[in-house]
Amino acid sequence: MPSIENATVILQSLQRAGIEVVASLPDAFLVHVIEGLEASNEFLHLPVTREEEGIGICTGAYLGGKRCAMIMQNAGLLNASNALTTTALQIEIPMLLLVLYAGGRGDISFPMLGQVTEGVLGALRIPYYIPETIDQVPDLVAGAVVQTYNAKKPVAIVLHKSVL
Amino acid sequence: MLRSECLESIVDLFVDVPCFVTVGRTWTEWDALRPGDGNFQVKTLGSGSSHGLGLAMALPDRKIAVLDGDGAVTMNVNGLLTIGRLRPANFIHLVFDNKMYESSASLPTATAYNADLVKFAAAAGIESARRVTTVAEFRDAVENAFQTDGPHFIVADVESPGKATSPAYSRMDETEGKFRFIRFLEAVEDRKIYQDAIDVKQSIE
């Protein structure tokens, strides 16, 4: 089950990387991260109802000078694919995507979703990193945030449930 | 009434106001009436309200406007729920409801049948949601939106311009549009907004 300790590491990683605005949609494994975002004064937490909105919101907040992240399940990544393509990639908007890997290695939910996730990221040409352990998360988040600004496109961290 | 008449009636209110403008003829009409770097051309249908919400949250002391259509709003109708939840006071959403996908062969939208966007917005928690049917009412509603806390959701019932000639489309590279919009915000905010990768890297290390 997800732990508060690991959620705290993720939130501290975002804070260290200067992320100020986080759009989110819940997944059961993201619950502590989202509760932490809501409770924190360090982040402007914007809960959305469908992930494509989050890409638009991150775009608007980026234009206003904020460093942004979108937290979602991989089903949400698929929901967000058009906005990622026609806005974030087309216009070159940096944002960090934190994507829960449902149906991934060792998981028994959404097997088809798990199989297409990395292919979708590849087709979108979105660089992505998959930490093996929570210890790898802080450096991967920091590196991904630098890369999203350097490449001027979204960069994803894909999180196995075991990392939460 | 025509959308172009509505737009013409409010141009003078839009001094230093960032605008997210939906694709198609709304853009060409507004861009002709109020050319400038403060207009952001939305590329993902319906996403203008989300862009506007993000900027409104990033710049809470500045009024942010979205110029939208019924096709766009129905595409991202769930976005109204988020606006109704967060209720940014500086958010102004103008919807020109011509009951059709004007840029796509004028095929009818849901508002041509049984959907009422004002009731939808109100039910989503946007208390200042209203419909206007004359240019004078529209102008009054927009003036009020600039003077009072929102979020404001104003639906203007407009007719199709039919075969009337559209203003010329000023095509611009999307990334240039983005940079111009950020420079516009830097000018009106009188501070640096754009962060280069080196700024980001140095801030993290």
Alpha helices in B20-134 (DSSP H): 25-33, 48-58, 70-75, 79-86, 117-123
B106: pLDDT confidence band, cut at 50, 70 and 90? confident
What is the number of domains present in chain B? 1
Amino acid identity of B138?
F
Q: Write the Ramachandran bin of B116: left for phi over 0, alpha for psi from -120 to 50, otherwise beta.
A: beta
| Chain A contact set for B120 (CB, 8 A) | none
Q: Which two tokens stand for residue B201?
A: 């890297």
The CATH number of whichever domain residue A131 belongs to comes to: 3.40.50.970
Nearest to A57 among B40, B50, B197 (CB): B50
Per-residue pLDDT of A37-49, as tens digits, reads 999 999 999 999 9
The answer, yes or no, to whether the previous bond of A94 is cis (omega within 30 of 0) is no
Put simply, the answer to whether A63 touches B197 (Cβ < 8 Å) is no
Range of the domain at A43: 4-163
- pLDDT per residue as tens digits for the range B27-83: 999 999 999 999 999 999 999 999 999 999 999 999 999 999 999 999 999 999 999
User: Which burial class, exposed, middle or buried, applies to B168 when counting CB atoms under 10 A from its CB (0-12, 13-18, 19+)?
Assistant: exposed
- SS3 breakdown of chain A: % helix, strand, coil, rounded to 5? 55, 15, 30
The Cα–Cα gap between B69 and B61 comes to: 26
Q: In which region does residue B36 sit, left (phi positive, over 0), alpha (psi from -120 to 50) or beta (all else)?
A: left
Reduced DSSP (H G I as helix, E B as strand, rest coil) percent helix, strand, coil of chain B, to 5: 45, 20, 40
Per the CB < 8 A criterion, the answer to whether A62 and A96 are in contact is no
- The encoded tokens of residue B107 equal 């095929």
- Give, in order, the Cα–Cα distances in Å from B52 to each of A12, B94, B106, B129, B151: 28, 11, 26, 17, 11
Quote the CA–CA distance of A155 and B138 in Å, as a whole number: 42
Other beta carbons within 10 angstroms of residue B47's beta carbon come to 30
- Bridge-based pairing of strands B107-108 and B100-101 is antiparallel
Query: What CA–CA distance (Å, rounded) separates A163 from B33?
Result: 53
pLDDT in tens, A71-92: 999 999 999 999 999 999 999 9
What's the CATH code of the domain at B170?
3.40.50.970
Q: Say if A87 is an interface residue toward chain B (CB within 8 Å).
A: yes
Q: In the Cβ-directed half-sphere of B92, how many Cα atoms lie within 13 Å? A: 23
Torsion, Cα of B73, B76, B82, B87 (10° steps): -20
Q: How far is A58 from chain B (nearest CA, A)?
A: 6
Beta strands in A30-138 (DSSP E): 44-47, 68-73, 96-100, 128-129
Number of domains in chain A: 1
What crossing angle do the helices spanning B25-33 and B3-10 adopt, rounded to 10°?
A: 30
Residue B130: burial class (beta carbons within 10 Å; 0-12, 13-18, 19+): middle
Residue type at A98 in one-letter notation? L
Task: Say whether residue A122 is in contact with chain B using an 8 A CB cutoff.
Answer: no
**Rounded to two decimals, what is the model's pTM?**
0.97
ipTM: 0.97
- Residue burial A127-148, b: 16+ Cβ < 10 Å; e: rest: ebbbbeebeebbebbbbbbbbb
- Say whether B44 and A83 touch across the interface (CB within 8 A): yes
Among the partner-chain residues A21, A49, A59, the one whose CB lies closest to the CB of B57 is A21
Rg (CA), chain B: 17
CB-based contact A53 B50, cutoff 8 Å: yes
Q: CB–CB of B54 and A87 under 8 A?
A: no
* Cα–Cα dist B194/A153, whole Å: 15
Q: What residues make up the domain containing B56?
A: 3-204
Name the closest residue on chain A to residue B204, using Cα atoms.
Answer: A17
Q: Which two tokens stand for residue A94?
A: 């940096």
pLDDT at B100: 92
The reply to whether residue A49 touches residue B81, judged by beta carbons under 8 angstroms, is yes
Per-position pLDDT tens, chain A of length 164: 999 999 999 999 999 999 999 999 999 999 999 999 999 999 999 999 999 999 999 999 999 999 999 999 999 999 999 999 999 999 999 999 999 999 999 999 999 999 999 999 999 999 999 999 999 999 999 999 999 999 999 999 999 999 99
